[in-house]
Structure 1
Amino acid sequence: MTTALACARLGQVTAGLLLATFGASLWAQGAAGPVPQIYTCTDASGRKLTSDRPIAECRDREQTILNPSGTVKARIGPVLTPYEQSQSEARIRAEQKERARKEEEKRMERALLVRYPNLVAHQKDREEALAQVQLVKQVGVERLKDLLAERSKLNEEMAFYAKDPSKAPANLQRQMAGVTQSLVEQERFLAEKDKEIQRINARFDEEQERLEPLWQANAATAGPTR
């Protein structure tokens, strides 16, 4: 009987040890889980609020996230209204657009610098572009001179009908009208060529203004030549 009692007590002790070990294991698993966060803020009424999740009463103001030790882990801003959200998104889009514009500007500057490594190359390209337009314009000028000479001859013929131009031959009237129209068109053509020359000079002036700082920077980086 004594031996049986001793065996029973030994079984109880063993079971207790097993339960204690299992409990310690469960506690360790729980301790390894996510560390709780504490949200705190002061609402519109001045009340100090605390919660384990974002506080609805403080959606319109900053909330502080604390560690279990009480130290500040992070701060979150107020939740924006739909209007504020749209304004924020518009501002972000504008900033992105501005960044893209600046990046495109830099890309264009790099491309310009590759094409025109110095002022001589840039001036040479300007002169070639202007020469092409000037050549076309010169042809137009010669054509204008021919038309003026033709109109002068026709005017001499029309002088016979100065008192009543309607009595001039139909063929002469048609020639006069055609030359007059051609003169208008030729003068318009030459005016357009002058504008094209202005546009070319304006473009090269703008490019040169952008390139000069880049040329200077390149010269400074290269250092003095020997």
Structure 2
Amino acid sequence: MRTIKAPEERRQEILDRAEDLFTAKGYGKTTIIDILEAVGIAKGTFYYYFKSKEEVMDAIIMRIVEADAAAARRIAADPGIPVLGKLLQILMAQSAASGSNKERMIEQFHQLENAEMHQKSLVQSILHLGPVLGDVAEQGVREGLFRTEYPRETVELLLASAQVIFDEGLFRWQPEEAQRRAAAFVRMIEHALVAERGSFDFMLERLAGSSEETDG
């Protein structure tokens, strides 16, 4: 007997099964027929929700970005967390757990044939995370931690540069090269936000910890 599901439930089910297929088979090797069979729906039902496989991937990207942004907003809105603590926790919340679907999806973004998909994920991440980090930066200005005239614009530019220069799908830095760029980026944040020198050293410690976990 055919199961009738609410539209949003069915849409999420299509995205769930498609994400499983993209991470298992690869985006390029997954067909719409594969998705239909995994969900157990007819072609007409699929096209009611999505016009193409590319549109499914766009929706998956947005789902990941929106989940990251929601986590960041919860941290930013917590009055019990100091400004620098918020920035650290937001940074940590964006990291994909090893072996998670998010990490496997990011691997798909890094495939050469998926360059457009990768670009979309970077742009959406900046558009959704930028305002949240802007709120935190403005709080830092109010509290006297930062003295920049342009807190929102500054964090947006910093986020955009970090998304590119530290993207392992774009650059394959050697450990020493990555460490030097991380140190330079931390100092750049301090200068851009007009913060006390050393204010963002916690980022270096965090990056070093992540590197040790990867090496281990």
TM-score, scaled relative to structure 2: 0.21
Task: Pick 1 or 2: higher relative contact order, CA cutoff 8 A, min separation 6.
Answer: 2
Greater fraction of residues in strand: 1
Larger Rg computed on CA atoms: 1
